[in-house]
A and B are shown apart, each in its own frame.
Chain A
Amino acid sequence: MNSSVITFPGSNCDRDMDVALKKFGFKNKMVWHNDVELPKSELVVLPGGFSYGDYLRCGSMASKSRIMKSVINFAKSGGKIMGICNGFQILVETGLLPGVLLRNKYLEFICKNVFVKVNNKNNPYFKDIKKDTLELHIAHNEGNYFCSKEQIKEINNNNQIALYYSDKDGKINENTNPNGSIKNIAGVFNKEKNVLGMMPHPERMIDPDLSGEDGSIFFKNLINNLK
């Protein structure tokens, strides 16, 4: 199973993603932002970090970088693309995913474990995950998901909401919302469900000695579903 992780200048979770993908059996290649073509892959990952410093809107510079043409074409041909944290921000900037990511409600960077409720398991990313909620890790300053009322209706109707911030029993309310995201949204799909963006970092939860192990569940499941 081949995967590619794109490194933009300022990406800083690219190595962590490489480690995680390899740990669960992917043959991963690192791809430089200035490359033109993607290597043959069943999965493309846009990792976390601060691409181009994110001095403009997060992800906006990266969404225009050279490799992204191939990434967008890959998405349009049904290829699986996953954007984590800054990767999610980049995907919304390309228009592959709906909505925007604003600054966190309390204007502070947040690094902590959160629970997310899996909303849609009818896709290669979450199919066959037995748990209804996963404990994952967030580390971001701009993870406050927002979109218009019409868009919310639309993504809801199309079952595009992937994850909600919740408590460990799956309860979704203000107290379980770390950053002010509309409807507690932590991750969304495109209409076709081949593109996923999410703020939480599964790659930081792949070992009992780290913050937790639910990331392992995610990756094990993912590689099985892509086979």
Chain B
Amino acid sequence: MIVNEQIAIDHGLKKDEYKKICDLLKRIPNITELGIFSAMWNEHCSYKSSRLHLKNLPTKGKNVIQGPGENAGVVDIGDDDAIVFKIESHNHPSFIEPYQGAATGVGGIMRDVFTMGARPIANLNSIHFGSPQHKKTKNLLRGVVHGIGGYGNCMGVPTIAGQTSFDESYNGNILVNAMTLGLVKKNKIFYSKAAGLEKPVIYVGSKTGRDGIHGASMASAIFDDKIEEKKPTVQVGDPFTEKLLLEACLELMAGDSIIAIQDMGAAGLTSSSIEMASKGKLGIEINLNKVPCRETNMTPYEIMLSESQERMLIILENGKENLAKKIFDKWNLDFAVIGKTTNNKKIELFFDKKKVADIPIDTLVENSPMYDRKWKKCKLPKKIKIKKEDFKNLKIINILNKILSSPNICSKEWIWQQYDHTVMGDTIQKPGGDSGVVRVHGTNKAVAASVDSSAVYCWAHPLSGGKQIVCESWRNLIAVGAKPIAITNCLNFGSPENEENMGEFVECVQGLGEASSYLDFPVVSGNVSFYNQTKNIGIKPTPAIGGVGLIKDYKKMVTMSLKQSDNILLVVGKTEGDLNQSLFLRDILNEKNGPPPEINLFNEKNNGETILKLIDKKLIKSSHDVSLGGIIIALSKMCIKGKKGATLKKPNYLMNEFEYLFSEDQGRYIIEIEKINLKNVTEILEKNSVHYDELGTVNENELIINNKSKVTIDELIKSHTNWLNNYMSK
């Protein structure tokens, strides 16, 4: 087949990109080469629309061992231990085939982590679906949850936290973001940078099949009515093989045979071989006849573009082939020497003794396109003034029950009960809390992780929204007593070719960068997912942030369940009573406009650090950050978790109680303390200039807001747990 412009366009390349390829090669590429270019130059692999903006993110810090650019980020947690972590999207495949899409998303991210030498110790996920009324939502939700569970459970890695939301903007384009944390010794971290000439290039893992060909290009395309036809581009996962691959790789990594290692993820053998060579400023030569294939008569084009799962590429020290092969034989995995490193900085492929591709690596990587896309700035919307009469006839308890049972607030136990969250025997905080927490096996340390996103805030004002999620991630870690270390981000947006969507991306990233830089909470890894849109409607901008923090002494970890009657409840942080973009305003008064809550980074940092001091002094019995739904929802969840009630004090604030209880002002926590410690705690808060209100006291079984408004905890539990169970069993 002779390549022409139309074939290039069918591969997702633009006209001028095709021209650039011909110019760089000084000839017309053959079909295999075109396939390789299209895989390397698509949005998913090249970050061509996002690179320019991502480079402004803060990526350094005193605990950062490895920032973006590797398979995953790495942070130092002391005593020679390090945590490797990353979040990644698998949105498009999950919409087309929810079980396999989600499963291979989880498999892919775990591979990114153990490629670096780390044993995965925790999984998290952030999943977003269309309106519950939409005809596809239920099946997509079920398929995705089964897929995540199917893969993670089989691997024996606990899924410790997550986030699920419903919004009609995901009707035609769901989001599935998976995150993994792994544990590694600092001197045993493996990288993907090739080094040395004539070193053997090894292929290990599953055989290569025809599944997933062009997966990365599909992930960079806009959905239309024919999306079902793309099913063959979704990869099929085999968690059992991945479990074997994990054990075999870790066994090989215990020695000193490996120079570089890279998993075959998006764009399979193409991107893994090219990235390793590119990082090492070397060339690579591969004999495609040596690649273990699952199907007969696979062409070089298919072999290079297959996204079959559970495969790795390794560059070994000379002479270590037999030793390595023994290990992979033991685990019943394919092992093949398929090529070698060279010094000509080219990728050269051979098949049936003919050279089938010959491309200078810099044309694929450094010279890949980079775009400064046009983008539109988003103005801060005007504040919505709520009239007094709007509050009339509203009954607090009714509203409370309604919000607690709403799809985005209700208990997600139906979901996380399907994930093994206790395997490995170190999960000390299960899903449903502010963060999931796992012990660092055999030590007194624990690692906390949380995944967050606030699409509604980002949609209302991307700059504020971007800041807010970083703050929320930070708060979720603080609330369990963890010192925040670093974040990973999964940036889910519409088309970068649309100025508004691009503007959302640019400003969210800007907000995200500002907050993470101020909080010293750097970005160490991440992923961008554009083209989350169906026809010309993009999703709400949904950057998801995965935060990781350290608890030095896990005995000091705090949970959100109320502990003891008569203990005192404080709201830490100032409540302004601004209802704009709150759940109350959007869902109860049906007002969707207005700006998201303001972010004050100074208060955020100061309040958080002070809470950590209090936790360190063991003065806090339970704590929870105040987020969606405001104080009353946060408090209700603490009641539900602890099966205790609370009696609120008579208000002494200058706003009405709806504003006080339902506003979503940022930088706030509810903490439970013992009476005898009240003075001590308030002194510390005052000394650190942290605002607090006394909210009330803990009681046995009733939430008492005032004489007229009270509700039993049993009723709150019902409201909170019934919705999702009923929805899924119908």
Contacts and interface: CB of A to CB of B under 8 A. Distances in A.
Interface of A: 9-10, 12-13, 15-16, 19-20, 48-50, 52-55, 108-112, 137, 139, 141, 201, 203-204, 206-207, 209-211
8 contacts: A9-B331, A12-B154, A48-B423, A52-B240, A109-B150, A111-B418, A139-B420, A210-B427
B331 A109 contact: no
Given A12-B155, A111-B417, A210 B428 contact: yes
Interface of B: 146, 149-150, 153-156, 238-241, 243-244, 331-332, 416-428, 430, 439, 554-555
A108 B153 CA distance: 12
A147 to B, nearest CB: 26
A110 B418 contact: yes
Contacts of A12: 154-156, 243, 423
B182 to A, nearest CB: 15
A10 B243 CA distance: 6
A53 B425 contact: no
Contact of A53 (B240, B416, B424): B240
Contacts of A109: 146, 149-150, 153, 418-420
Contacts of A55: 240
A139 B153 contact: yes
Nearest to A207: B425
Contact of A13 (B238, B416, B419, B423): B423
B422 A210 contact: yes
Contact of B422 (A19, A52, A139): A139
Contacts of A15: 424
B156 A9 contact: no
B153 A206 contact: no
A110 B417 contact: yes
B440 to A, nearest CB: 13
Contacts of B428: 209-210
A27 B421 CA distance: 28
B246 to A, nearest CB: 10
Contact of B424 (A10, A16, A206): A16
Nearest to A107: B146
Contacts of B244: 9-10
Nearest to B414: A108
Contacts of B426: 210
Contacts of B331: 9
B425 A203 contact: yes
A53 B418 CA distance: 18
A139 B238 contact: no
A209 B165 CA distance: 30
Contact of A50 (B239, B427, B439, B555): B239
A108 B424 contact: no
Contact of A108 (B155, B418, B423): B418
B554 A209 contact: yes
Contact of A111 (B150, B332, B421, B554): B421
Q: Which 7 A-B pairs have the closest CB atoms?
A: A12-B156, A53-B240, A16-B425, A50-B154, A139-B420, A109-B418, A209-B428
A206 B422 CA distance: 12
Contacts of B554: 209
B243 A50 contact: yes
Given A50-B243, A109-B153, A9 B332 contact: yes
B100 to A, nearest CB: 15
Given A9-B244, A109-B419, A210-B422, 15 more contacts: A10-B240, A10-B243, A13-B156, A16-B423, A16-B424, A48-B423, A50-B239, A50-B240, A109-B153, A110-B417, A111-B416, A111-B419, A111-B422, A207-B425, A210-B428
A111 B420 contact: yes
Most B CB atoms within 10 A — which of A111, A139, A204?
A111
Contacts of B149: 109
Contacts of A9: 240, 243-244, 331-332
Contacts of A211: 422, 427, 430
A206 B239 CA distance: 28
A110 B419 CA distance: 7
Contacts of B417: 108, 110-112
A12 B240 CA distance: 10
A206 B427 CA distance: 12
A210 B425 contact: yes
Nearest to B431: A111
Contacts of A50: 153-154, 239-240, 243
A53 B419 contact: no
Nearest to B152: A109
Contacts of A52: 240
Contacts of B240: 9-10, 50, 52-55
A50 B554 CA distance: 31
A201 B423 CA distance: 10
Contacts of B423: 12-13, 16, 48, 139, 204
B599 to A, nearest CB: 35
A206 B243 contact: no
Nearest to A209: B428
A53 B428 CA distance: 28
A9 B421 CA distance: 21
A139 B417 CA distance: 9
B421 to A, nearest CB: 6
B341 to A, nearest CB: 32
Contacts of B418: 108-111
A137 B421 CA distance: 11
Given A52-B240, A139-B153, A206 B332 contact: no
Given A9-B332, A10-B154, A50-B243, A137 B422 contact: yes
A61 to B, nearest CB: 10
A200 to B, nearest CB: 11
Nearest to A51: B240
Contacts of B425: 16, 19-20, 203-204, 206-207, 210
B426 to A, nearest CB: 8
A20 B426 CA distance: 12
A23 B698 CA distance: 38
Contacts of B155: 12
B244 to A, nearest CB: 6
A52 B243 CA distance: 10
Contacts of B424: 15-16
A44 B59 CA distance: 50
Contacts of A137: 422
A93 to B, nearest CB: 17
Contacts of A19: 425
Contacts of A53: 154, 238-241
A111 B149 CA distance: 10
B63 to A, nearest CB: 25
B715 to A, nearest CB: 20
Contact of A204 (B238, B422, B555): B422
A36 to B, nearest CB: 15
Nearest to A13: B423
Contacts of A204: 422-423, 425
Contacts of B422: 111, 137, 139, 201, 204, 210-211
A159 B386 CA distance: 70
B443 to A, nearest CB: 13
Contacts of A111: 153, 416-422
B533 to A, nearest CB: 32
A49 B239 contact: no
Nearest to A49: B156
B666 to A, nearest CB: 31
A138 to B, nearest CB: 10
A45 to B, nearest CB: 15
B707 to A, nearest CB: 36
Nearest to A110: B417
A9 to B, nearest CB: 6
A139 B416 CA distance: 12
Contacts of B420: 109, 111, 139
Nearest to B424: A16
Contacts of B416: 111
Contacts of B332: 9
Contacts of B241: 53
